[in-house]
Structure 1
Amino acid sequence: MSKRILFVCLGNICRSPSAHAVTRSLAPDWTVDSAGTSDWHVGEPPYGPMQAAARARGIAMDDLRARQFHADDFDLFDLIVAMDADNLARIESQRPAGNATPVRLFTDFDGVGAGDHVPDPYYTRDFDGCLDLIETCARGLIETD
């Protein structure tokens, strides 16, 4: 498995920065980043309740800031990981002609077939459940290396 990984969700304030923070804590030698397909929160830190849930597990993410996904990311990363099918489609719509960078769903790495998306805790309010799934998927991703 490649070691330059980009995690992508919609706003880049809950799921993808959590995946970013969890993965960098588990695989500190990897280059990881996160982005959102929307520009709603560019420059903002991760959502407060998401940060609090992560901090309770010893995972720091207060240094992260939201950014928007761009087509150039296909050239900067070895693997792009989407949090759900809608964002995967948005990512693919920006794929440059001839680019072969793989784009996968994060749940492809959960090892148990939990579903086709990481539920968005901004809406579900289940920050701990989201982190549980993210930790499972991150470990699965690392094990594929």
Structure 2
Amino acid sequence: MSHRILFVCLGNICRSPAAEGVFRARAPHHVTDSAGTMGWHAGNPPYGPMQAAAKVRGIYLGDLRARQFTAADFDRFDLILGMDANNIADIEDLRPAGSDTPVRLLTDFAPEAGADHVPDPYYTRDFDGALDLIEAAVEGLAAHLDS
């Protein structure tokens, strides 16, 4: 069964495109997209250092382009995954009345990682650490969806 999954972070140039890229490599039978709660980078490719860190792991992000999350995304996706609590709050602020689309933290799918969010490597500069956490969560997500 195919699911429609949306990954969301702040600017859609580091965490959410990385999560989309890792997930589509791991589970290509699902439909994926990514977005940012802010539209600063709309139309831009993922941040160069994130693309480079992902490429070392065999994950290609160069075809992705940033876009801003909208209320219509609640209708287009079966599951919306935020990277941190602020992303979740911003997503929920746009929830249309009557929408029951689940919104969860990506890290919910990697409890063994002991993290309650994916830190933003745009600020921390820890692209590999973010990717480690994203890969663990994507494994858990894929197992959950395919069970």
Q: Considering the TM-score relative to the shorter chain, is it more than 0.5?
A: yes
Q: Report how many residues are paired.
A: 145
- Residue aligned with 1:136, SS: helix
Query: Matches of 2:20 and 2:43 in 1, distance apart?
Result: 16
Query: Matches of 1:58 and 1:113 in 2, distance apart?
Result: 22
Per-residue deviation, 1:114: 1.8
- Residue aligned with 1:59, SS: coil
CA distances 1:24-51 after superposition (whole Å, capped 9, x unpaired): 0000100000000001100000000000
CA distances 1:61-85 after superposition (whole Å, capped 9, x unpaired): 0000000000000000000000000
- The question of 1:114 aligning with 2:78 is answered no
Which residues in structure 2 correspond to 1:35-114 (within 5 Å)?
35-112=35-112, 114=114
Which structure 1 residue ranges, 5 or more long, are not aligned?
none
**Runs of 4+ off more than 3 Å:** none
Q: TM-score normalised to the size of structure 2?
A: 0.96
What's the RMSD between the two structures over aligned residues?
1.1
- The question of 1:134 aligning with 2:134 is answered yes
* Larger proportion of helix: 2
Q: TM-score normalised to the size of structure 1?
A: 0.97
Query: Matches of 2:135 and 2:102 in 1, distance apart?
Result: 21
Query: Matches of 2:79 and 2:9 in 1, distance apart?
Result: 14
